[in-house]
Structure 1
Amino acid sequence: MTIREELEIIELGTLCKDACTSKHTGRRVRTEPKCPIRTEFQRDRDRILHCNAFRRLKHKTQVFLSPVGDHYRTRLTHSLEVSQIARTISRALRLNEDLTEAIALGHDLGHTPFGHAGEAILNEICSFGFKHYLQSVRVVDYIEKNGMGLNLTYEVKNGIACHTNRTAVTKEGCVVRLADKIAYINHDIDDALRAGVITEDMLPENAVSVLGHSKSERITTLIMSVVRSGVEEIKLEDHIKAAEDELYDFMFEHVYHNNAAKDEEVKAKMLVEKLFRYYFKNPDKMPEEYVNIMNRFSKERAVCDYISGMSDGYAINLYNDLFVPKCWHIQ
């Protein structure tokens, strides 16, 4: 018996009846030999962790565009915090922690440079629209490994695709959807406080009295509420959800739509659109892997894939190289 087979037996004996176990799931488009050590979802987790798109998340905006300071969140740190919260919930509910972690680490792989500003402009100018959660699936299916994709299991890809506004087929995917919101509301509060966009006394009194006055207290309260609700329906208790919704509305009014926090979004959208227009006219200037995508799909699809995969810094440097005049050094 291999180590993987032993782990599959352990899952069957310890996880709850609603958990997605590795032995009876883990379908891939391309059939592969089983790993002797890792379960299917452990392999998916590792593939995501080692892929190029995951590494680029460290230079992609979470909320504040290219903030000065080492402690502001990026898409990478956000994904790690989502993973921690989701794994804690799954462990407590005896769900599959490996599947949960794979979905959480991969959920934002398709996010654009400059956060939702980049997503909004690509959705506007692309004829087929743009949603980062669908792009995340496209990344793992058609872009990574020079177009070969990561060949992830159906359950992981479904959880990634459904992390924003749909119900996943697994309980683990439902956990990640909740964990994503728990993470970003609370770490965005932390970043907004650090940036001076809001102050502690501005937070809605009723919400913090129910959820807690610190980030740690609020996250613990929210996690415990999901656990108390049980595995039958992955949700927050009504009074906890009402408090979270109040905090969510507050963040949209004072942070997500705040001019002080978002005053560079117009420039970011202009930059993304100009790069898109340039490469649509000059597709041969893209890296070879995206030229191959163009030949396989379409020019517009390839340009969208190229632009959306850029980090903030890469997009800015590329824009400067293409559109900003350089000094003429006379010898």
Structure 2
Amino acid sequence: MNIREKYEQFEAEHLSERASKTKFSKGRAVEEPKCEIRTDYQRDRDRILHSKSFRRLKHKTQVFLSPEGDHYRTRLTHTLEVSQISRTIARSLGLNEDLTEAIAMGHDLGHTPFGHTGERILNELCISGFKHNEQSLRVVDFLEIRNDKHGLNLTYEVRDGILNHPMEYKPSTLEGEIVNLSDRIAYINHDIDDASRANIIKPGQIPRQFLDNLGSTHGQRINTMILDVIKNSMDKDSISMSSEVAYLTRKLRDFLFENVYYNKVAKSEEEKATFILTKIYEYYSRNFDKLPKFYTDIYKENNFTKSEIIKDYIAGMTDRYAMKIFEDLYMPKPWRQ
């Protein structure tokens, strides 16, 4: 019995009967030899972690466009916080921590530059629309290259969790449900933290009902929500908060939309981001052959529209790369003799 087989046996003997056991995974689209030391879910996590798309998350905006401070969240730090929260809940409930971590690591790979502003712009510009969860799945299924082949060839359960991580979706595993909920717990709390640092949320502005019932600090609120999810989901067929904490969490999210996400200070650069991405999209719509060879080759070899390919290129950009491309395309260059 090798190391992987011992761990699969550990899953069978020690995880909850409701957990997704690696040995019973629905598998990969293309069958592969098993690893001697890692389960399939552990391999999926590692493939995501070593991907270019994952590394680019460190330069993609979470909420605040072009933040000047070093301590504001990016898509990468958000992803790591979702992973930590998800793993804590999964471990406490006896569910598959490796599957949960893999889903968490991959859930935002398809996010655009400039946060949800970029997502909105691409959804308006692209003929087929744009949703970041669908793009995340497209990244792991096709756009990432592994062993000179398109896609990471992840397991069904990880792919399902990535696609169904937004709050209005329903994953097929409890581990996917954990990430779905942990995503909300993470962004609600770290966006309060970032907005307070930016002085967008003023001292005393957060209503007392949230401070008194969820906690007065970042750590206390996260702890309250995590403990509530664990207590409310123990030995059940779904992952959820209690009705009281779910209500407070929903109302706290509404407070953020009103005071942060639609705040003119937080979105002061949104008009510029809209202009930049729109102009990049328009340029490549007129000059499709100017796209990098990687993308023009995809178009020649597959049944995708030009709009889809341009969308793939822009969605994969970091904030600073989008600004560089815009400058290269539209800003005059100094003339040198």
TM-score range, shorter chain: over 0.9
- What is aligned with 1:223? 226
Q: Which residue of 2 aligns with 1:29?
A: 29
Residue 109 of structure 1 deviates from its aligned partner by 0.1
Q: Which residue of 2 aligns with 1:93?
A: 93
1:313 and 2:320 matched = yes
Task: Tell me the equivalent position of 1:189.
Answer: 192
Query: Does residue 156 in structure 1 map to residue 158 in structure 2?
Result: yes
Which amino acid counterpart does residue 228 of structure 2 have in structure 1?
S
RMSD, aligned CA = 1.0
Give 1:233 shift: 2.0
Letter in 2 for 1:116: H
> How far apart, in 1, do the equivalents of 2:246 and 2:174 lie?
19
1:4 maps to a residue whose letter is: R
- Does the 8 Å contact 1:112/1:310 carry over to 2? yes
Unpaired runs of 5+ residues, structure 2, are none
Shift of 1:275: 0.5
Pair 1:141-2:148 in alignment: no
Percent identity between the two aligned chains = 54
User: What is the aligned partner in structure 2 of residue 38 from structure 1?
Assistant: 38
Task: Map residues 118-267 of structure 1 onto 2, 5 A cutoff.
Answer: 118-145=118-145, 148-164=150-166, 165-230=168-233, 231-267=236-272
Q: TM-score of the superposition, structure 1-length normalised?
A: 0.98
Q: Matches of 2:328 and 2:178 in 1, distance apart? A: 43
Kept in 2: contact 1:204–1:246 (CA 8 A): no
- CA drift at 1:196: 0.8
In the alignment, which residue of structure 2 is the partner of 1:326?
A: 333
Structure 1 residue 283, shift from structure 2 partner: 1.8
Distance 1:200 1:209 in 2: 15
Aligned to 1:70: 70
Q: CA deviation at 1:219?
A: 0.3
Quick one: distance in 2 between partners of 1:26 and 1:191?
40
TM-score w.r.t. length of structure 2: 0.96
CA distance in 2, matches of 1:188, 1:81: 12
Q: After TM superposition, give the deviation of residue 200 of structure 1 in Å.
A: 3.3
Residue 275 of structure 2 corresponds to residue 270 of structure 1 = yes
Q: CA deviation at 1:285?
A: 1.4
Q: Deviations over 1:15-40 (max 9, x none)?
A: 10111000011510111000010000
Q: State the one-letter code of the partner of 1:178.
A: L
Give the letter for the 1:182 counterpart: I
Structure 1: runs of 5 or more not aligned: none
Cα pair 1:294 1:300 within 8 Å, conserved: no
* Structure 1 position 147, deviation (Å): 5.8
CA shift for structure 1 position 293: 1.8
Residue 303 of structure 1 corresponds to which residue in structure 2? 310
Instruction: Evaluate the alpha carbon distance shift between residue 246 and residue 11 of structure 1 in structure 2; reply closer, same or farther with a 3 A threshold.
Output: same
Deviations 1:142-170 (A, max 9, x none): 10006610000110010011100211000
How far apart, CA to CA, are the structure 1 residues paired with 2:86 and 2:26? Answer: 20
Q: Distance in 2 between matches of 1:4 and 1:250?
A: 46
Distance 1:273 1:293 in 2: 22
- Structure 2 Cα separation of the partners of residues 80 and 256 of structure 1: 22
**Is 2:283 the counterpart of 1:281?**
no
Q: Any idea what SS the aligned residue of 1:28 has?
A: coil
Structure 2 partner of 1:7: 7
Does structure 2 retain, via aligned residues, the 8 Å contact 1:26–1:41?
Answer: no
Q: Match of 2:333, as an amino acid?
A: K
Displacement of 1:197 in angstroms is: 0.6
